[in-house]
Amino acid sequence: MPEKTMIHSAWQTALTQLDSVSKLMMLPEDIHQILRSFDRILTVSVPVRMDDGFLRVFTGFRVQHNASRGPYKGGVRYHSELTLDDLKALAMEMTWKCSLAGVPFGGAKGGIVCNPKTFSKNELERLTRRYTYAIMPIIGIEKDIPAPDVNTNEQIMAWIMDMYSVKNGYCTPGIVTGKPVNVGGSLGRTDATGLGIVFTITNAMKQKKMNLKGIKVVIQGYGNVGSAVGKFLSEMGCKTIAVSSSRGGIYNPKGLSHDALIKYYTKNGSFEHFPHAESVTNASLLELPCDVLVPAAMENQITKENADKIKAKIIVEGANGPTTIEADQILSGRKIPVIPDILANAGGVIVSYFEWVQDAQCYFWCENEVNARLKNLMNRSYEEVYALSREKKLNMRTAAMMIAVKKVADAISVRGIYP
């Protein structure tokens, strides 16, 4: 992934956002203090016997931010640069995301510090099972439900589900979401984040009175999320003009074919030397002229160094935390709307919620039903955020945060503090 520009750590950004929104809302200080802190942070060691016979010990975490509105929910990421501070920011963000979307969960995030790309499938399985075993005391269908995130996928969710079921003594599909459909996964889950982003782009275009057909889109990160955005947009007649992976990107102002991109990447593992396209770095890709820019890779990509060079008419955050606070202010000043992550990329956790509901009922919906319900919730959130941003003359991020924080604060107040 692109290099991190650590002006503010993701955690400092998350706290600053919470502090400023709390002030704006005149949130009682005791509630503000609860929201700034964490219910539980677990650090675990994950010993794994590697294929060469040597033992390596990895560090894993599960961070549970707040469960006032329901069980903890959030992904598990495998990344060599993962820090506890990143996970704290991401867990807090999950609390706001679930709250804004109206799904009855609190926020969590977990992960292992490792580079999974260097692992064999067997090593990855042993790593995942041992991590699951280590976090077992604090996860559960009604406690904390993991899901995929950066570098984890439905196979990894299947191993988590199996490990938990074996220890539990019976098949427990509801322990994770984002698992394969044949073991209780939901249709539509794999593409849900991308589809939700496309619903968001559609809403934003409508609001800007721009025609969706023919718009030029730049997507940083063409993984699970970014490539789903590219797929749906191309079906709708939009033009993806630049994409990237962790190894760099490519640009063709006339448009890139989604099918050709996927075929090429599957064969070569990168977009290097993709025919009829100019190569660009992950950083310069962000500065290309386009209608919609979708950062769908990692945190802290749009910073005070490049925010005034962005030429997009609108930014839709596919990744979690891709814009720093300073960049946000610069973009606000330049009147470039930023549709925040907690609104734009909520499709994943929304369909995770649908999966959890389907598992609880042992009754599964067709893909059209999943997508229609997803559209409904995404549109509802967008309208709510847009209305508040108009009413109070706030940017979309502040409005989204205000709605999300208020619902969690209300839950804390009405439940009261024990003892």
Short-list 135, 41, 127, CA closest to 84: 41
**Contacts to ligand GLU from residues 30-89, by CB under 6 A:** 73-75
Residue from the set 352, 358, 381, 395 that interacts with ligand GLU by CB under 6 A? 352
User: Which range of residues in 11-19, 41-49, 262-270, 345-353 is near ligand GLU by CB under 6 A?
Assistant: 345-353
Residue from the set 348, 356, 385, 394 that interacts with ligand GLU by CB under 6 A? 348
Between 127 and 349, name the residue whose CB sits nearer to ligand GLU. 349
In the complex, least distance from residue 149 CB atom to ligand GLU, rounded to whole angstroms: 4
User: Which range of residues in 5-13, 205-213, 229-237, 342-350 is near ligand GLU by CB under 6 A?
Assistant: 342-350
In the complex, least distance from residue 170 CB atom to ligand GLU, rounded to whole angstroms: 23
Catalytic residues, by residue number, are 109
Task: Please tell me whether residue 340 binds ligand GLU under the rule CB under 6 A.
Answer: no
x/- track of binding to ligand GLU for residues 170-209 (CB under 6 A):
-------xx-------------------------------
Q: Quick check: helix, strand or coil at residue 152?
A: coil
User: Which range of residues in 113-121, 126-134, 274-282, 341-349 is near ligand GLU by CB under 6 A?
Assistant: 341-349
Between 244 and 345, name the residue whose CB sits nearer to ligand GLU. 345
Distance CA(73)–CA(107), nearest Å, equals 5
Between 17 and 234, name the residue whose CB sits nearer to ligand GLU. 17
In the complex, least distance from residue 417 CB atom to ligand GLU, rounded to whole angstroms: 27
- Residue 393: other Cβ atoms inside 10 A: 8
In the complex, least distance from residue 208 CB atom to ligand GLU, rounded to whole angstroms: 25
DSSP string, 233-290: HHHTT-EEEEEEETTEEEE-TT---HHHHHHHHHHHSS-TT-TT-EEE-HHHHTTS--
- CA angle 221/148/98 to nearest 5° reads 95
Distance CA(202)–CA(210), nearest Å, equals 9
**Contacts to ligand GLU from residues 118-147, by CB under 6 A:** 147
In the complex, least distance from residue 284 CB atom to ligand GLU, rounded to whole angstroms: 27
User: Which range of residues in 81-89, 260-268, 282-290, 348-356 is near ligand GLU by CB under 6 A?
Assistant: 348-356
Longest dimension (CA), the chain: 66
**Contacts to ligand GLU from residues 201-260, by CB under 6 A:** none
Q: Quick check: helix, strand or coil at residue 148?
A: strand
Between 234 and 301, name the residue whose CB sits nearer to ligand GLU. 301
User: By Cβ distance, which residue is nearest to ligand GLU?
Assistant: 75
Q: What is the dihedral of CA 230, 336, 383, 397, to 10 degrees?
A: 100
Distance CA(364)–CA(349), nearest Å, equals 17
Instruction: Label residue 188 left, alpha or beta by phi (over 0 means left) and psi (-120 to 50 means alpha).
Output: left
In the complex, least distance from residue 241 CB atom to ligand GLU, rounded to whole angstroms: 26
- Mention every residue, 6+ apart, whose C-beta is less than 8 A from residue 329: none
Cis check: omega of the bond before 146, within 30 degrees of 0: no
Task: Please tell me whether residue 349 binds ligand GLU under the rule CB under 6 A.
Answer: yes
- CA angle 260/263/264 to nearest 5° reads 85
Q: Which residues pair with 74 in a beta bridge?
A: 146
User: Which range of residues in 166-174, 288-296, 344-352, 374-382 is near ligand GLU by CB under 6 A?
Assistant: 344-352
Between 74 and 221, name the residue whose CB sits nearer to ligand GLU. 74
Task: Please tell me whether residue 320 binds ligand GLU under the rule CB under 6 A.
Answer: yes
In the complex, least distance from residue 110 CB atom to ligand GLU, rounded to whole angstroms: 10
In the complex, least distance from residue 367 CB atom to ligand GLU, rounded to whole angstroms: 17
* Sheet hosting strand 106-113, strand order edge to edge: 40-49, 55-66, 106-113, 72-79, 144-148
Q: Which two tokens stand for residue 8?
A: 């503010």
Please report where in the chains the tokens 């000043």 appear, as a residue. Answer: 333
Residues that bind ligand GLU (CB under 6 A): 73-75, 97, 147, 149, 177-178, 320, 345, 348-349, 352
